[in-house]
Amino acid sequence: MLAELRQRDRAKGDAETRLQHQALIDELTGLPNRRLLSDRLGQSLAVARRENTKVALLYIDLDGFKLVNDSFGHAAGDILLTEVSRRFKAKIRESDTLARLGEDEFTVILNHVHSKEGAEKAARACSILSPSHS
């Protein structure tokens, strides 16, 4: 009976962990979702106030994404979103946060930014901001 209770407790804990993960992480990309982004942004702002630095928030919308879904199907769109998120993630610092807000919307929190120029430089370095927008 004791073993059964332990197994039930373990199963309950595993289920709670899965639910927590689903509530905070985008299922397709594995990135933080809007809810976790909000929490991380609050933490980033608190650290920036304490360390007298700035935080930059980049919003990324994939132009023409609806056309991909309409022309090639949602499976192709999912592959594209997964690859785009992987590439964005590879370009940002470990201390920054990349999150998926919606179908084709992403946000990056750039931490430890000292100036507007620093944020623009970081955005260009990770190929998020094209030179034509600077």
**Residue 134: band (very low, low, confident or very high) from pLDDT cuts 50, 70, 90:** very low
Percentage of the chain beyond pLDDT 90 is 54
Contact 56, 119 (CB under 8 A): yes
Measured CA distances, 128 to 4, 71, 81, 90 (Å): 52, 25, 15, 12
Candidates 14, 70, 96, 104; catalytic one:
104
Q: Where are the domains of the chain?
A: 2-133
Token reading at 101: 């807000």
CA dihedral in degrees (61, 53, 127, 80; nearest 10)?
Answer: -40
Give me the pLDDT at residue 80, please. Answer: 94
Nearest to 90 by CA among 6, 43, 16, 31: 31
Express each pLDDT in 82-129 by its tens digit.
999 998 998 888 999 999 998 999 999 999 998 888 888 878 876 654
14 is catalytic: no
**CATH topology (fold) of 2-133:** Alpha-Beta Plaits (3.30.70)
Both tokens assigned to 51: 């360390």
Q: Tokens 């594209």 belong to which residue?
A: 80
Tokens of 1: 């009976």
User: What's the pTM?
Assistant: 0.78
